[in-house]
Amino acid sequence: MSEAVGESFWPLYFRTLRRGLAPGAQALVQSITIDDARFAAYRVRAQGFDGTFIRTWRLYLDYCDAGFSEGQTDVRYCVIRRAH
């Protein structure tokens, strides 16, 4: 999810992906995209979020990072079907 990495970290993110792949290997990257003309409006500060919100959000992301790093958090996908 490249959008969750943060624009300033994209170079490091993609270098890390490249380094982790064997020659000829592939990676699947999930990304939520937006038209380039609207991108700036979706940046956090451009949306009007203040410093308190941004610090809280970063704390949440660090908490998630620690949970994944320690194997206490995971991602799951499920399909839910309504019976007829």
The verdict on residue 39 lying in a domain is no
Domains contained in the chain, number:
2
Interval 13-44: pLDDT, tens = 888 988 888 888 888 887 777 777 777 777 77
Residues 23 and 57 in one domain: no
Residues 50 and 29 in one domain: no
The verdict on residue 38 lying in a domain is no
Q: Quick one: which of 36, 37, 46, 33 has its CA closest to 3? A: 33
Residues 51 and 19 in one domain: no
Euclidean distance between the first and the last CA atom of the chain, given in angstroms as a whole number: 35
Residues 51 and 29 in one domain: no
Which domain covers residue 74, as residue numbers? 44-84
State the pTM of this model.
0.48
Exposure pattern of 27-41 as b/e (b: 16+ CB <10 Å)?
eeeeeeeeeeeeeee
At 78 the pLDDT is 67
